[in-house]
Amino acid sequence: MSGWIAVAGLGPGADDLVTPEVRAALAAATDIVGYIPYVARVATRPGLVLHPSDNRVELDRARHALEMAAAGRRVVVVSSGDPGVFAMASALFEALEGREDAPEIRILPGITAMLAAAARLGAPLGHDFCAINLSDNLKPWALIEKRLRLAAEADFAMAFYNPRSKSRPEGFSRVLEILREACGPDRLISFARAVSTPDEDLRTVALRAATPEMADMRTVVILGNSATRRVGPWVYTPRSVP
Amino acid sequence: MSGWIAVAGLGPGADDLVTPEVRAALAAATDIVGYIPYVARVATRPGLVLHPSDNRVELDRARHALEMAAAGRRVVVVSSGDPGVFAMASALFEALEGREDAPEIRILPGITAMLAAAARLGAPLGHDFCAINLSDNLKPWALIEKRLRLAAEADFAMAFYNPRSKSRPEGFSRVLEILREACGPDRLISFARAVSTPDEDLRTVALRAATPEMADMRTVVILGNSATRRVGPWVYTPRSVP
């Protein structure tokens, strides 16, 4: 039997947000590869080998998956959310560069954090929007600042992944300053932590009241556009611009 | 028994991309509301009332759902893809404005078209990106042009919803001109039609070779950023910027 790789999105956390397509891949796998907390979400069973690894070793992990598939294993590389959004799919294709042959590869989409968060909040991404990874591990900080200013000028709603981590305590504070300057103090900003898990926490404030401590590694942050508003407990961005 | 509304994303088309959460809502519903082709995707059963309606009557549809829920019905408003991305969730909150009371409302996320398409193509949205609705039904055309130029300057990958329709035959041709001007003729652009259905069709070309006819109402279009490249049959955007 020939090996394959599926790069699968486990969604934000809840079991009922995992697609049947991903469930079927997990059921057919011999090996699960991924970041420790994501591999921990996969149910163990006899014959299934788990290969949890630490953060920031995405390329090593992708190469390991390719080697196992070449040896005939059926490998699922797990990501949280969707594998194509700041996750393992790109890393796998980077690892493919320069290789002579490739196994069968499928990318299996999942519910990405910003859309799970948006659903819980209302519909803050209901008009044109952008998604920006605020980590400067893999790109210069100046590029992040440039993108924030251009996205504000375009009046995009914005979803921010990886807003804050222990290794970058200052970055998100600077992001909030730039956004206040570019979007004004009244703009709505939502902090959605651990959506669909028992630790879920949602909070929406005006930019003037936003502080860096409102975000951590499990938070996705959503900034409204200039028309984003509240109705009852909800936050939404109208579909139309007059 | 009190009524409720769930605004549910049916995903791009395939049954195995519908989340269990959405399946459960459909199973508990008394009424299904939505655009004709999306309601047609829901399995009928005794006691389930289908309320298909035409395109462009989103607010009427939302009001109808609110009235039925107030009368104790359990209403699922169906969208294709994700309900929060250019779909029914925003329309429902617009319809809520000014009302004295609201029923229980849940927004149930789904696999949105751009992420289903990205997964089939490889990982073209693997770095910062934006999502733009190219229809000018609900916003001025000048705003679309402005956003395209700013998004190009930010070097976002871009996903385009509603690229082309019978009522707007010229718009997408103009979009391609602007993108060629702003991003150069070598930039990769992918046309993903009817992803995950029997009609699925994928095509990636350089911008110089892109023509308006490559898109129709069932197509989502994904433009790479300046680093997007091919590896084997795949298209991906590297995670890092040097």
| Closest CA of chain B from A8, distance in Å | 10
Model confidence at B135: pLDDT above 70: yes
Question: For residue range B37-86, what is the model confidence (pLDDT) as tens digits?
Answer: 999 999 999 999 999 999 889 999 999 999 999 999 999 999 999 999 99
Q: Which of A58, A239, A240, A241 to mutate to test the interface with B (most CBs of B within 10 A)?
A: A239
Question: For residue range B184-210, what is the model confidence (pLDDT) as tens digits?
Answer: 999 999 999 999 999 999 999 999 999
Asked if the structure places residue B241 within a domain, the reply is no
Given B111, B133, B154, which residue is the final one in a domain?
Answer: B111
Asked if the structure places residue A27 within a domain, the reply is yes
- Whether residues B213 and B131 share a domain: the answer is yes
Residue B170: pLDDT band (50, 70, 90) is confident
- Whether residues A86 and A200 share a domain: the answer is no
User: Among partner residues A84, A110, A139, which is closest to B123 by beta-carbon distance?
Assistant: A84
Question: For residue range A7-49, what is the model confidence (pLDDT) as tens digits?
Answer: 999 999 999 999 999 999 999 999 999 999 999 999 999 999 9
CA distance B48 to B110: 22
- Whether residues B178 and B73 share a domain: the answer is no
Q: Which residue segment(s) compose the domain that B228 sits in?
A: 114-236
In what side-by-side order are the strands of the sheet with B229-231? B122-123, B234-236, B229-231
Per-residue DSSP letters for A153-202?
Answer: HTT-EEEEES--BTTBTTHHHHHHHHHHHHH-TT-EEEEEESTTSTT-EE
Q: Which residues of A touch B15 (CB under 8 A)?
A: 20
- Whether residues A79 and A129 share a domain: the answer is no
ipTM over 0.95: yes
Distance of CA A177 to the CA centre of its chain: 23
Given A66, A89, A111, which residue is the final one in a domain?
Answer: A111
Q: Kindly report the CATH number assigned to the domain that includes residue A126.
A: 3.30.950.10
| Closest CA of chain A from B106, distance in Å | 8
- Whether residues B122 and B229 share a domain: the answer is yes
Q: Beta strand A201-206 with A219-223: parallel, antiparallel or unpaired? A: unpaired
Is B22:B9 a contact under the CB 8 Å cutoff?
A: yes
